[in-house]
Structure 1
Amino acid sequence: MSLRHRLVRPANWLRRRLRASEAAFVVLAIGIGGAAGALSVVQGAIARTLQHWFFALPGTSRLSAQPGLSLGTLIVLPIGGAVLALFTLATRARRRAMVDTVEANALHGGRMGIADSFVISGQTILSNGFGASVGLEAAYAQLGGAVASLTGGLLNLRRPDLRNLVGAGAGAAIAAAFGAPLAGAFYAFEIVIGAYTPSAIAPIAAATLSAVLVSQTLGAHPYVVEAASGAATETHHYIAYAALGATCAGIGIVLMRSVASLEQGVRRLRIPDWARPAIGGALLVPIALISPQVLSAGHGALHNDLMAGTSIRFIAMIFICKCLASIVSLGFGFRGGLFFASLFLGTLAGTLFATALTAVAGFQIIDPHNAAIVGMAALGVAVIGGPMTMAMLVLEATHDFGLTGAAIAASLVSSTIVRELFGYSFSTWRLHLRGETIKSARDVGWVKTLTAGRMMRGETRETPTTTTIAEFRRRFPLGSASKVVLIDGKTHYAGIVRTPDAYGEALDPAACVASVAVNTDAALKPDMDIKQVMTAFDASGADELAVLAADRTVLGVLSETYVRRRYAEELEKAQRELFGER
């Protein structure tokens, strides 16, 4: 027996076990979680090592916690931009766009490329390691999801199982980074899977716990938000925290739009791709001279500002500078995300909000420390999404259920306003700018695969428009065909004739059949997905429409009845998968 056959038989047995047994799937998720946790530790260690090398940091200190850096040291920023550009050029062999975890689960059934994921991770580590104002969370989730996708692909898992496994891998990576298994689990549900699926609860919980255990075993220092809550949270405080949530929603929308606007402006300036990160690094230098707190993700700065009594003027200055640094970093081509930056900015916004309320009222309404934590959650939700993700992060950081309730209230207000006025999180907003229409990781890939070209009926019985009604009646007796497609002299589509219409008593038998044609302008393109097809049927009022190539030659015919039946079937199938019917 060949080696291939020896490997295939155990793989087939394992695949059957995973499909039949939820316990076996949980065991697989534990392994994925451990691998994701280990990869997060490695990536974080590499980025911190680069920062210590390039910025000569003492001991185990963080870059954003430094009291000040010289101009000579900050020259690392434009150099890092140039290195990132070289790395990007060296890995630009792929013609297609690289897929992240959210896009993979929304459009591709959880399928991710491992090579692309390593490129994304490398770009993010270089950006963060050279001090750009971006976080590593995107890289953590990318490799965690990629390992899960690769494993699930090798085992040929079903689409819903693969999506759940990718969510488990990404959530486990975030859990390991923050030392927060609950936050990691809800990150998987809200950000990567896009729904709370009963079939995913056990494997995702097991994966996040496994990741945290592995990271702690490896001696990693997670990004725990060490914050003690202040005064007790009372019922009337919720009104103030709701207003803070609304404020953070506005800040988040402005921040995300500013990144996109700067990125588009840089492209309009026709700056070469290789020069953009270097220029961005140079623009970061004067901002970092004001305070190094704007560099990297901001872990050290967040800890210092929460634990130390920092002046309000300094906090306001850091808030503005951190916003500018994040916008410049992402707008000029550094790779990374706004996950931790939004948490850092949220603490600053919460502190400023509480101080402003005190100044207006003449007495303290809400505790500034509590407001900082609630602001962290509210701005995190505005930018990243996931109200329960941020709420669990607050709970695991403070162990204060009252404050967690306030964070949930502010997060829900923030989330509602962002959805209503903006409609996207930062990750889906960038996909929108690329031409995608997804607003979450909810599985819509099946919608995009059901195209008019795949659903159409190939035979069309095409007839020239010059055919007389008498000839048409001879060729198509009543009952032989319900509809006939017409083509002109250049074989281009010219409409559809409903066969009974050609048998009207008032018609001249010598007239051309084109006189009774309908839907001469209404037609479908082969790449239209099923929702676009149904919209076209609604707009035209037709029962059947032709599918046309770019040159208006007829490819096939599609009926509304068939389209709506297929949509109902696929929707029912997706619902069964959502609720875990194995």
Structure 2
Amino acid sequence: MTPMLPIIAKARRRLRGPAWLRWLGGQVRSVEILFVALAILVGMGAGGLTVMQGALARTVQHLLFDLPESVRLSGAPPLHWPQLLVLPIGGAVLVLFNRLVRARRRSLVDAVEANALHGGRMSAADSAVVSGQTILSNGFGASVGLEAAYAQAGGLLASLAGHWLKLRRGDVRTLVGAGSGAAIAAAFGAPIAGAFYAFEVVIGAYTPAAIAPVVAAALAGAQTARRLGVVPYIVNVQRGPEIHTFGYLLYGGLGVTCALIGIAIMRGVALMEARTRAHLPGWSRPIVGGALMAGLAALSPQVLSAGHSALHIDIMASVPIAFVAGILLAKALASIVSLGFGFRGGLFFASLFLGTLVGHLYAGLLGWVAGQSILNAGNAAMVGMAALAVAVVGAPFTMTMLVLSATGNFSLTGAVLAASLVSSTIVRQLFGYSFSTWRLHLRGETIRSARDVGWVKTLTAGRMMRRQPNIVPGDTSIAEFRRRFPLGSTSRVVLTDAVDRYAGIVSPIAAHTEGLDAAEPVATLAGAADMALTPDLDIAAVMRQFDAAQRDELAVIDRDGHVLGLLTEAHVRRRYVDELEKAQRELFGER
């Protein structure tokens, strides 16, 4: 056996990676400026991947729908029936892709879930599947955006870099947020919005330690995209009059309206998905959804894809209120159908487009009721764009900065922020989730943001328990029990029944009480016989069990009732406080 030890040690060193990589990882962990430099490299990579994915999806659209070079799908002229057939064909292609990659056999982890539950660890295979599904769905015209693919690719690049360099859990989470934020910054040409997206959506908190790497990555992503020819996202709207107190109140009402519409859309997607899963074979869902999308696209191509061109057309053109209402209803239904029938993508940009329609309609209806123009239609469209996107995505400062970057209108920023905060507050109160966390909730997860709760899931009763506790059969006499466990020898003993299953816990103090019949079995003194923990319970569930049992200790048992270990409430509470303090130190960058 001894000659094998050097071979095993050498193999372990190889598994840990090259020496230079371990050295570099140590430097990045200890020198903050190197971590910022790493974030810049990740941001550049995320920007390049964003440009590549966007170009690929647009190329597919132009080829399939025979579009002129300067026209995007949502701004195309009315489509003919051969072009409409592309949508159900796209559903069939998506089904084939899912079968080839076996996408339905596992839950695909996105950047938000990775940061909340897995310490930033993302799977390259999962990310490739998500990106492929999103590009196919968008390329064939489904009413979804590419933002899911952008953020997934940027987050994956960051996750791989962090784990290659063996970075700390908190550093990997920050890097994943930086990568995803850089991708969004590249997509919209808005580095500040990308940085806030990283904080609000992917990291789940504004952390002082993350400011420099996240902002640096977002700037690098936006600059990379610009150098590769991507034009920053700019919306030219007529600058409206200065907004006073009454205007803020009206825009607050627009925020309420957008919140309710956002909740309705998210619930509509969940309801549609549940109904189609229950009544349609899995292989048919995208095909049927594509056929329904073809019917909607026959009414107007503006319902297709993310809606970039449609947004500009409807803002710049003076269109009737009835047309705006019709497009709003059709686009909302198209998004619900696309996601509910199994197409993959995000609601980020779709919510921006829908928000402009809501704002435009809101201003028009107010003017119609009052008999005169009350709100500037362009300003209302921008406020609605941010407020509805906040309702769906859940990032008020991200959307405020996005509108500011797109319009350059500082006088509008206050109204945008006010409506966004109203929308965010109402959605949290009435619904409690953003679109990404709502879909996780439907899968059975309990997270409400990307805030790191992975340690709660991994800190289980099985990991915390004391193994090999004192165990005796329950039919042992009290006299024998006293002999084996004199006072002061231990604080508790676990009992088992005739078939070696858990039968309760006895304190030696109770067994040494005067007046007991020494011949009686010790099982007569047992407590908590019907209360025990399973090894897979996380620390939050364990604490709830202790609160319900009103006991200082509980046994941990397997499915057959055999004792695995013992856990005390004091130890669990101490571990919980230690982990909270550790998370707090990471939040403020205390290494």
Aligned length: 581
C-alpha distance after superposition, 1:15-65 (max 9, x if no partner) = 122112211111111111111001000000000001001111112211001
- The equivalent position to 1:194 in structure 2, one of 185, 190, 204, is 204
C-alpha distance after superposition, 1:117-168 (max 9, x if no partner) = 1111011000000000000000000000101111111111111111111111
Given that 2:366 and 2:374 are in contact with CA atoms closer than 8 Å, whether structure 1 keeps it comes out as: yes
Given that 2:302 and 2:331 are in contact with CA atoms closer than 8 Å, whether structure 1 keeps it comes out as: yes
Given that 1:229 and 1:398 are in contact with CA atoms closer than 8 Å, whether structure 2 keeps it comes out as: no
Between 1:355-364 and 1:150-159, the stretch displaced more is: 355-364
Given that 2:255 and 2:420 are in contact with CA atoms closer than 8 Å, whether structure 1 keeps it comes out as: yes
2:35 maps to 25
Q: Tell me the distance in 2 between the aligned counterparts of 1:278 and 1:231.
A: 48
Q: Tell me the distance in 1 between the aligned counterparts of 2:447 and 2:535.
A: 21
Q: In angstroms, what is the RMSD of aligned CA positions?
A: 1.8
- The equivalent position to 1:45 in structure 2, one of 46, 55, 76, is 55
- The equivalent position to 2:192 in structure 1, one of 182, 189, 211, is 182
Q: Alpha-carbon deviation of 1:369?
A: 1.3
1:102 maps to 112
2:228 maps to 218
Q: Tell me the distance in 1 between the aligned counterparts of 2:225 and 2:306.
A: 20
C-alpha distance after superposition, 1:460-512 (max 9, x if no partner) = 22222222222222221111121111111121111111221122223222222
Q: Alpha-carbon deviation of 1:191?
A: 0.3
Given that 1:223 and 1:299 are in contact with CA atoms closer than 8 Å, whether structure 2 keeps it comes out as: no
- Written as runs of structure 1 = structure 2, the 5 A alignment for 1:76-155 is 76-92=86-102, 95-155=105-165
Q: Tell me the distance in 2 between the aligned counterparts of 1:247 and 1:278.
A: 33
Q: Kindly indicate whether residue 316 of structure 2 is the aligned counterpart of residue 322 of structure 1.
A: no
Q: Alpha-carbon deviation of 1:206?
A: 1.1
Amino acid aligned to 1:160: G
Amino acid aligned to 1:127: S
1:407 maps to 416
Amino acid aligned to 1:392: M
Q: Tell me the distance in 2 between the aligned counterparts of 1:225 and 1:23.
A: 36
C-alpha distance after superposition, 1:422-463 (max 9, x if no partner) = 111000111111111111001111111100000000112222
- The equivalent position to 1:231 in structure 2, one of 230, 241, 246, is 241
Residues 205, 60 of structure 1: alpha-carbon distance in 2 compared, 3 angstrom cutoff: same
Residues 414, 94 of structure 1: alpha-carbon distance in 2 compared, 3 angstrom cutoff: closer
Q: Tell me the distance in 1 between the aligned counterparts of 2:70 and 2:213.
A: 35
Identical positions, percent: 64
- Unmatched 5+ residue regions in structure 1? none
Q: Alpha-carbon deviation of 1:93?
A: 7.1
- The equivalent position to 1:207 in structure 2, one of 213, 217, 227, is 217
Q: Tell me the distance in 1 between the aligned counterparts of 2:316 and 2:533.
A: 61
Q: Alpha-carbon deviation of 1:84?
A: 0.8
Q: Tell me the distance in 1 between the aligned counterparts of 2:56 and 2:200.
A: 29
Q: Tell me the distance in 2 between the aligned counterparts of 1:544 and 1:7.
A: 43
Q: Tell me the distance in 2 between the aligned counterparts of 1:59 and 1:233.
A: 40
- The equivalent position to 2:264 in structure 1, one of 251, 254, 274, is 254
* DSSP 3-state at the match of 1:275: helix
Q: Kindly indicate whether residue 177 of structure 2 is the aligned counterpart of residue 167 of structure 1.
A: yes
* DSSP 3-state at the match of 1:545: strand
Between 1:498-507 and 1:81-90, the stretch displaced more is: 498-507
Q: Kindly indicate whether residue 277 of structure 2 is the aligned counterpart of residue 272 of structure 1.
A: no
Amino acid aligned to 1:249: A
Q: Tell me the distance in 1 between the aligned counterparts of 2:234 and 2:154.
A: 19
Amino acid aligned to 2:74: S
Q: Tell me the distance in 2 between the aligned counterparts of 1:389 and 1:445.
A: 25
Amino acid aligned to 1:192: V
Q: Alpha-carbon deviation of 1:222?
A: 4.4
Residues 40, 410 of structure 1: alpha-carbon distance in 2 compared, 3 angstrom cutoff: same
- The equivalent position to 1:502 in structure 2, one of 511, 517, 520, is 511
Q: Alpha-carbon deviation of 1:292?
A: 0.5
Given that 1:185 and 1:208 are in contact with CA atoms closer than 8 Å, whether structure 2 keeps it comes out as: yes
Between 1:365-374 and 1:336-345, the stretch displaced more is: 365-374
Amino acid aligned to 1:330: L
Q: Alpha-carbon deviation of 1:272?
A: 2.5
Q: Tell me the distance in 1 between the aligned counterparts of 2:284 and 2:578.
A: 51
1:331 maps to 340
C-alpha distance after superposition, 1:325-346 (max 9, x if no partner) = 0001001100001000011111
Amino acid aligned to 1:396: S
Q: Kindly indicate whether residue 85 of structure 2 is the aligned counterpart of residue 75 of structure 1.
A: yes
Q: Tell me the distance in 2 between the aligned counterparts of 1:498 and 1:7.
A: 51
- The equivalent position to 1:452 in structure 2, one of 433, 448, 461, is 461
Q: Tell me the distance in 1 between the aligned counterparts of 2:336 and 2:103.
A: 28
Given that 1:121 and 1:142 are in contact with CA atoms closer than 8 Å, whether structure 2 keeps it comes out as: yes
Q: Alpha-carbon deviation of 1:224?
A: 3.6
Q: Tell me the distance in 1 between the aligned counterparts of 2:237 and 2:21.
A: 47
Q: Kindly indicate whether residue 334 of structure 2 is the aligned counterpart of residue 291 of structure 1.
A: no
Q: Kindly indicate whether residue 541 of structure 2 is the aligned counterpart of residue 532 of structure 1.
A: yes
* DSSP 3-state at the match of 1:274: helix
Provide TM-score, normalisation by structure 2.
Answer: 0.96
Q: Alpha-carbon deviation of 1:7?
A: 7.8
2:4 maps to none
Q: Tell me the distance in 2 between the aligned counterparts of 1:503 and 1:5.
A: 55
Amino acid aligned to 1:79: I
Given that 1:526 and 1:547 are in contact with CA atoms closer than 8 Å, whether structure 2 keeps it comes out as: yes
1:243 maps to 253
Amino acid aligned to 2:25: R
Structure 1 segments (4+ residues) deviating >3 Å: 1-7, 93-96, 221-229
2:6 maps to none
2:5 maps to none
Given that 1:245 and 1:411 are in contact with CA atoms closer than 8 Å, whether structure 2 keeps it comes out as: yes
Q: Tell me the distance in 2 between the aligned counterparts of 1:120 and 1:5.
A: 29
* DSSP 3-state at the match of 1:313: helix
* DSSP 3-state at the match of 1:495: strand
Q: Tell me the distance in 2 between the aligned counterparts of 1:434 and 1:489.
A: 41
Amino acid aligned to 1:287: L
Amino acid aligned to 1:284: M
2:561 maps to 552
